[in-house]
Amino acid sequence: MPQVHTFVNNHRYRLTMKPILSIFLSIIISSMVAQNVKTCNDTIQVPFGENKMGKYIGCLNYEGIMDGYGTLYFPDNTVYAGNFVREKMDDLNGQLTYPDGDSYIGGFKDNMKNGIGTLSLSMGDQTQISTGDFSNDRFINGTKTIDFGEGVVQVINLQYGEVVKFEVYNDTALTLSSVGDFFPDYSLKNGTKREVIRNYEIITELENGIEISRISEIENYYNPDDIQYAVTPDIPEETELMVIPLEYEKNDDSKYVNLGFESPNRAEYRFIFDTGAEVFNIGYRLFKELENNGLQYEDLDILIPATGVLGEPMDLKVIRINRLRIGNYIVNDVIAYVSTVDTANSNLLGIQFLKKFKQVYWSLNDNKLIFYK
């Protein structure tokens, strides 16, 4: 008698749902078959390897071998209930239950999981449920849901054995969604990654695992239409570049740049030029003054967690400033972070502001910035 084997396979596979129609038809057919199952109570001992024996209760054919509906009890306490065709598991809706409580319900062919089914596994605090299409014990099309407990859930979609979509949920809220080609660890190789952080999103395009573009509601990007040239008596004609001298004070290593904001008094304010700072930050007191002077801006209703100079936790409010002025350039739709603590009053011109321009060069020895429109 051929040896019957168990079927748990803990390898990870990529998955994709088969057409809903095929799954629906499979369920209907299996239901119809279940209504016409012939049950028997014949009992035989089934030999397994290493002098181990299992037991079968069910239907036998005229040769006395498993054929038809029955239940097979393995030596390790695994149990299969379903149809057999000449000693082999063969069913549209068989059920395999493992000693640890793991189970598979669905199609079987040639003693392997084949067809539409659901595989449920538990590993410590983690549970995995794979629902879809199986082929020769491999999960190839459908959805694998991994629950890590404490509200963290991964949902993996496979198609023809390859991962095509990967999602992460935290307390039912989507925090990550990637679509494309993946590495074995489910990290995105080629495609689009969407991260949801608090109430804003970051969308990244990757090629071979390398970021090639990034779009976010909290970052500045180059758009030539956002930059206008303000003609002055000193410079009556538009130029493609502009030189801004960096101000500094004696015995002070800091460099400063003046920015003007659209308000009735058109005042300019000094910002620290900080190449180590990522964001364009407006201190608490300056922002209050700008508001009082009629600053035109949009509150994006986004708060970014940060740490103050003294190590205190704080939030930075994200705003979009309609217009501001640097030298002879008017810059539109500028993302800025605003300190929400009254003791946080640093005004920093970081890399994020410079990204509004096509190119920016810093001359260390000449103490100047060169902006290209």
pLDDT at 235: 57
pLDDT at 1: 37
Q: Tokens 């009629």 belong to which residue?
A: 294
Check residue 59 and give left, alpha or beta (phi > 0: left; psi -120 to 50: alpha).
Answer: beta
Residue pLDDT, tens place only, 140-185: 999 999 999 999 999 999 999 999 999 999 998 999 999 999 999 9
pLDDT at 264: 67
Helix/strand/coil percent split, the chain, to 5: 10, 55, 35
Q: Is residue 83 part of a domain?
A: yes
pLDDT at 231: 61
Cβ atoms of 160 and 35 closer than 8 Å: no
Q: Are residues 126 and 259 in the same domain?
A: no
Q: Is residue 104 part of a domain?
A: yes
What DSSP designation does 311 have? S
Q: Are residues 152 and 257 in the same domain?
A: no
Q: Is residue 206 part of a domain?
A: no
- Residue 248 maps to which CATH number? 2.40.70.10
pLDDT at 262: 79
Q: Is residue 191 part of a domain?
A: no
Q: Are residues 240 and 137 in the same domain?
A: no
Q: Are residues 336 and 236 in the same domain?
A: yes
Burial class (CB within 10 angstroms; exposed 0-12, middle 13-18, buried 19+) of 319: buried
Q: Is residue 254 part of a domain?
A: yes
- Residue 155 maps to which CATH number? 2.20.110.10
Q: Is residue 129 part of a domain?
A: yes
Q: Are residues 155 and 247 in the same domain?
A: no
Q: Are residues 230 and 161 in the same domain?
A: no
Q: Are residues 25 and 166 in the same domain?
A: yes
pLDDT at 169: 96
Q: Are residues 159 and 28 in the same domain?
A: yes
**From CA 296, how far away is CA 241, in angstroms rounded?**
27
pLDDT at 53: 93
**From CA 130, how far away is CA 163, in angstroms rounded?**
13
Which of these three, 134, 156, 171, is where a domain ends? 171
DSSP H or E run through 45: strand 42-48
| Separation in Å, CA 356 to CA 181, 320, 369 | 32, 13, 14
**From CA 113, how far away is CA 100, in angstroms rounded?**
19
Q: Is residue 10 part of a domain?
A: no
3-state secondary structure 53-73: EEEEEEEECCCCCEEEEEEEE
Give the residue ranges of the chain where pLDDT is below 70.
Answer: 1-36, 231-238, 264-265, 309
Which of these three, 171, 199, 232, is where a domain ends? 171
Q: Are residues 73 and 153 in the same domain?
A: yes
Half-sphere exposure of 340 (CA within 13 A, CB side): 17
Residue pLDDT, tens place only, 211-237: 999 999 899 999 999 998 876 656 556
Cβ atoms of 158 and 165 closer than 8 Å: no
pLDDT at 254: 87
DSSP H or E run through 313: strand 313-326
Q: Are residues 148 and 241 in the same domain?
A: no
- DSSP secondary structure, 191-217, as one string: EEEEEEETTEEEEEEEETTEEEEEEET
Q: Are residues 50 and 116 in the same domain?
A: yes
Q: Is residue 291 part of a domain?
A: yes
Q: Give residue 50's domain range.
A: 20-171
**From CA 83, how far away is CA 111, in angstroms rounded?**
11
Q: Number of folded domains in the chain?
A: 2
pLDDT at 10: 34
Q: Are residues 253 and 118 in the same domain?
A: no
Q: Where are the alpha helices (DSSP H) in the chain?
A: 20-34, 284-292, 351-354
Task: Give the pairing of strands 126-135 and 79-85.
Answer: unpaired
| Separation in Å, CA 163 to CA 14, 191, 206 | 4, 12, 16
Which of these three, 133, 149, 171, is where a domain ends? 171
